[in-house]
Structure 1
Amino acid sequence: MWEAMFESGIPYAEKAVRTVLVYLSIVVLLRLAGKRELAQVNTFDLVVMLLLSNVVQNAVIGPDTSVSGAVFGAAVLAGSNALLVRAVARYPRLNKLFESAPLTLARGGRYDMSAVRRVGLRLPDLAVAIRKQGGDHVSETSSVTLEPGGTLLVRLTEDDQSADKADIKELRAALKRLERRLDDTAR
């Protein structure tokens, strides 16, 4: 019983090569599928991701069902990811290959429907992103941008932005000035 848990069914070198090849293939497929796959995941995307992991499992581990084989495969996968992330950060050409440019989905309070359709996003999903970032409607935005990592960045018009500490400090100062004027006129 214990032998089967730790005896690899294939050589570790083969397992490493399999893992790296499958990892790179999935990275390329996700890149071709679009940025949305990385961060803006809806129910359909989640199902695809779960099935995708199941589909490639045997390609990564082969006939090996041992614990040590699984741990080795996981370590190779994590190491490959760490190396690729560092390489993409260091080399601009790789960055261009794996990350795309930001895409503006709305400008001046109106959606760019061709851009929205191109990335396969739904308007209700964009409306939720706008609400999460402090807006009520696309008309309150100066721009909505899909960033390379899949994040939706919403920039609200100046009048629709939330108050910050500086705004509150300015209001307090104005209130104090008004109170002083009222006090002065009451005397």
Structure 2
Amino acid sequence: MFFDSWYDMLRVAVVTVCAYAALIVVVRLSGKRTLAKMNAFDLVVTVALGSTLATILLNRSVSLAEGILGLALLVVLQFVNAKTAVHFRGFRRLIKAEPTLLLCDGRMLTDEMARQRVTESEVRQAVRSQGIGALEDVTAVVLETDGSFSVLSRSQTGSGSSLQDIRRPLQEQPGR
């Protein structure tokens, strides 16, 4: 239970070094965005990579070649997924969440916050982390697709073009 054989220990050591090297090569070949800031879909792929690596290292019935093929396929599928999302808006909408406006012109959008399971305290914390002391000084707080908050102060708003892709609730749309 604590120790089976030196052969098993050597196998794990050799396979670990080889699988680790293969993982680095595959991830480097796939490009910078493979494991960039993650949305929910990316997190699942990353967990799958980790699970596959663990299986390669510890499961005797999975050969190193089979494991490397599994790692490579996951990264290739992630690459194809990212490429497809860039070129097809419908596919992008299917796999990626849209940014959500949580605060507009100093006013919390409680319905949107409830939909996204975000508390007022979390929005205030995001505002404070930007060194802003008053909600009235904030044009927008956006929950981004990776779960982070973006805070745009009135002094930084400019034309507001960075908010162009953010769907606004009906009560916040101009002319309503």
Give the TM-score, by structure 2 length.
0.51
- Aligned to 1:121, the other structure's residue is in SS state coil
1:86 CA drift (Å): 0.6
Q: Does 1:115 align with 2:112?
A: yes
How many pairs are equivalent? 118
Q: Does 1:133 align with 2:134?
A: no
Kindly state the Cα deviation for residue 57 of structure 1 after the two structures are TM-superposed.
4.3
Gaps of 5+ in 1: 7-36, 40-48, 162-187
Q: Give the structure with the larger helix fraction.
A: 1
Shift, 1:93, TM fit: 1.6
Q: Cα offset for 1:95?
A: 1.5
SS at match of 1:118: helix
Q: Which residue of 1 aligns with 2:100?
A: 103
Alignment correspondent of 1:124: 121
2:92 corresponds to 1:91:
no
Q: Which structure exhibits the higher relative contact order, with contacts defined as CA atoms closer than 8 Å and separated by 6 or more residues? A: 1
Deviations for 1:13-46, whole angstroms, at most 9, x for unmatched residues? xxxxxxxxxxxxxxxxxxxxxxxx838xxxxxxx
Match of 1:74 in 2: 71
The answer as to whether partners of 1:127 and 1:137 remain within 8 angstroms in 2 is no
Residues of 2 paired with 1:126 and 1:38: CA distance? Answer: 19
Aligned-residue offset at 1:115? 0.8
Using the aligned pairs only, state the percent identity.
Answer: 18
CA contact (8 A) 2:39 2:96 kept: no
Asked whether the 8 Å contact 1:145–1:152 carries over to 2, the reply is yes
Aligned-partner Cα distance in 2 for 1:97–1:123: 28
Q: Secondary structure at the match of 1:114?
A: helix
Contact 1:99 1:149 in 2 (8 A): no
- How many angstroms apart in 2 are the aligned matches of 1:142 and 1:69? 52
8 Å contact from structure 2 (residues 139, 153) kept in 1: yes
Q: 2:161 aligns to what?
A: none
Give distance in 2, aligned partners of 1:139 and 1:149.
26
C-alpha distance after superposition, 1:37-90 (max 9, x if no partner) = 838xxxxxxxxx79x948x948xx697443333322211111110110011001
Structure with the greater alpha carbon radius of gyration: 1
> Cα–Cα, structure 1 residues 74 and 107, in superposed 2: closer, same or farther, change >3 Å?
same
Deviation at 1:150, TM superposition (A): 3.2
3-state SS, counterpart of residue 152 of structure 2: strand
Amino acid at match of 2:151: V
